[in-house]
């Protein structure tokens, strides 16, 4: 028994050192030991909405950042709110022009055209300097073909699903249930990408408790990106995602 315990300890230590060495290899600028062990990425989909300003105020009050996956049609409806997200300094990712699954699934050329329209619209609305390499499939990646999932990466985008859910689009959810659902689906995973949706008062109300809970557990709140340092953290996240190879990223 004692031997077994020692072997297990040895195995664990070897794995820790091996992964630390591997991580350091890939990015000398940031030793793995400096990276936070517990991280939550809060993501808001389907905006902007009429109450985006309330959400931004809440994030500021809670002192947590979020990543926004916007829909082009909503950007057209609330251009000021799209600009407010940019001004607040939060990253924006593509979440399609019209949230139409069928259109995007029909042909990867539709994804390509949609991406182009989205970027064009965002440049018109928030400024010519807009660019993003963050992508979220409407409805999540799993219902798209592996060809489509690969195609998005070949276009220079990183796509992200989630491994924690607020369940705020499910029927009969209130703030209390959303909070419970988020804690249940996220658990104590080291790296959590939490799915939430804009335009819901109950989600904002629940967010207060969710942030409080994970902050007390020592989680750091960060935003999604394809930077080398973020990659090292995201590698430990079990959510479905795909990041382009580092050398494939545009300069
Ligand atoms: Zn969506």
Task: List all residues 6 or more positions away from 159 whose beta carbon is below 8 Å from its beta carbon.
Answer: 135, 136, 137, 141, 149, 152, 153, 241, 242
Residues having C-beta closer than 5 Å to ion ligand 1:
45-46, 138
**How far does the centroid of ligand 1 lie from the alpha carbon of residue 51, in Å?**
17
Q: Is the pLDDT of residue 29 over 70?
A: no
Average pLDDT over residues 11-16: 48
Tell me the chain's radius of gyration from C-alpha atoms.
19
**Is residue 169 a part of any domain in this protein?**
yes
**How far does the centroid of ligand 1 lie from the alpha carbon of residue 71, in Å?**
8
Number of domains, the chain: 1
**How far does the centroid of ligand 1 lie from the alpha carbon of residue 17, in Å?**
39
Instruction: Report yes or no: 136 and 160 within 8 Å, Cβ to Cβ.
Output: yes
**Is residue 1 a part of any domain in this protein?**
no
Average pLDDT over residues 105-116: 97
- Residue with the bigger pLDDT between 29 and 144: it is 144
**How far does the centroid of ligand 1 lie from the alpha carbon of residue 121, in Å?**
18
**How far does the centroid of ligand 1 lie from the alpha carbon of residue 20, in Å?**
36
**How far does the centroid of ligand 1 lie from the alpha carbon of residue 19, in Å?**
35
Distance, CA of 133 to CA of 158 (rounded, Å): 6
Distance, CA of 54 to CA of 201 (rounded, Å): 9
Distance, CA of 134 to CA of 156 (rounded, Å): 9
**Is residue 7 a part of any domain in this protein?**
no
**Is residue 144 a part of any domain in this protein?**
yes
**How far does the centroid of ligand 1 lie from the alpha carbon of residue 193, in Å?**
15
Question: What is the reported pLDDT for 74?
Answer: 98
Q: Is the pLDDT of residue 234 over 90?
A: yes
Q: Is the pLDDT of residue 247 over 90?
A: no
Q: Is the pLDDT of residue 141 over 70?
A: yes
**Is residue 67 a part of any domain in this protein?**
yes
> Given pLDDT bands bounded at 50, 70 and 90, which one contains residue 130?
very high
Distance, CA of 211 to CA of 209 (rounded, Å): 5
Distance, CA of 127 to CA of 214 (rounded, Å): 35
Q: What is the CATH number of the domain that holds 113?
A: 3.20.20.370
Q: How many residues does the chain have?
A: 251
- % of the chain beyond a pLDDT of 70: 85
**How far does the centroid of ligand 1 lie from the alpha carbon of residue 194, in Å?**
13
- Residue with the bigger pLDDT between 106 and 16: it is 106
Distance, CA of 239 to CA of 194 (rounded, Å): 10
Digit-coded pLDDT (tens) for 148-183 = 999 999 999 999 999 999 999 999 999 999 999 999
- Residue with the bigger pLDDT between 98 and 31: it is 98
Digit-coded pLDDT (tens) for 37-87 = 999 999 999 999 999 999 999 999 999 999 999 999 999 999 999 999 999
**Is residue 27 a part of any domain in this protein?**
no
Its pTM stands at 0.86
**Is residue 33 a part of any domain in this protein?**
no
Q: Is the pLDDT of residue 13 over 50?
A: no
Question: What is the reported pLDDT for 250?
Answer: 53
The distance from CA 151 to its chain's CA centroid, rounded to whole angstroms, is 19
Strands (E), 15-172: 39-47, 67-70, 92-94, 134-135, 158-160, 164-165
Distance, CA of 58 to CA of 9 (rounded, Å): 44
Q: Is the pLDDT of residue 230 over 80?
A: yes
**Is residue 173 a part of any domain in this protein?**
yes
Instruction: Please give the mean pLDDT across all residues of the chain.
Output: 90
Burial annotation 117-135 (CB, 10 A radius, 16+ → b, else e): ebeebbeebbeeebebbbb
**How far does the centroid of ligand 1 lie from the alpha carbon of residue 45, in Å?**
5
Cross-strand bridge partners of residue 238:
none
Residue 149's domain comprises 41-245
Question: What is the reported pLDDT for 245?
Answer: 86
Q: Is the pLDDT of residue 103 over 70?
A: yes
Question: What is the reported pLDDT for 23?
Answer: 43
Task: List all residues 6 or more positions away from 242 whose beta carbon is below 8 Å from its beta carbon.
Answer: 149, 150, 152, 153, 158, 159
Question: What is the reported pLDDT for 92?
Answer: 98
């Amino acid at each position: 028994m004692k031997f077994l315990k020692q072997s297990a300890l040895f195995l664990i230590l070897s794995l820790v050192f091996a992964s630390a060495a591997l991580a350091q290899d890939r990015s000398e600028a940031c030793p793995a030991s400096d990276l936070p062990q517990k991280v939550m990425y809060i993501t808001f989909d389907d905006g902007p909405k009429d109450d985006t300003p309330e959400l931004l105020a809440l994030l500021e009050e809670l002192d947590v950042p979020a990543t926004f996956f916007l829909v082009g049609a909503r950007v057209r409806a609330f251009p000021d709110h799209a600009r407010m997200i940019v001004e607040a300094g939060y990253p924006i990712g593509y979440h399609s022009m019209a949230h139409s699954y069928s259109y995007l699934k029909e042909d990867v050329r539709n994804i390509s055209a949609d991406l182009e329209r989205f970027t064009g619209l965002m440049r018109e609305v928030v400024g010519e300097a807009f660019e993003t390499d963050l992508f979220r499939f409407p409805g999540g990646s799993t219902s798209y073909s592996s060809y489509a999932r690969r195609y998005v990466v070949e276009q220079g985008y990183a796509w992200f699903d989630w491994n924690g859910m607020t369940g705020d689009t499910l029927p009969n959810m209130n703030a209390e249930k959303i909070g419970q659902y988020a804690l249940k689906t996220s658990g104590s995973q080291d790296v959590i990408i939490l799915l939430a949706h804009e335009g819901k008062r109950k989600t904002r109300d629940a967010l207060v408790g969710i942030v409080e809970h994970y902050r007390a557990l020592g989680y750091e709140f960060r935003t999604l990106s394809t930077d080398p340092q973020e990659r090292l953290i995201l590698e430990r996240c079990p959510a479905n995602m795909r990041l382009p190879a580092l050398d494939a990223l545009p300069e």
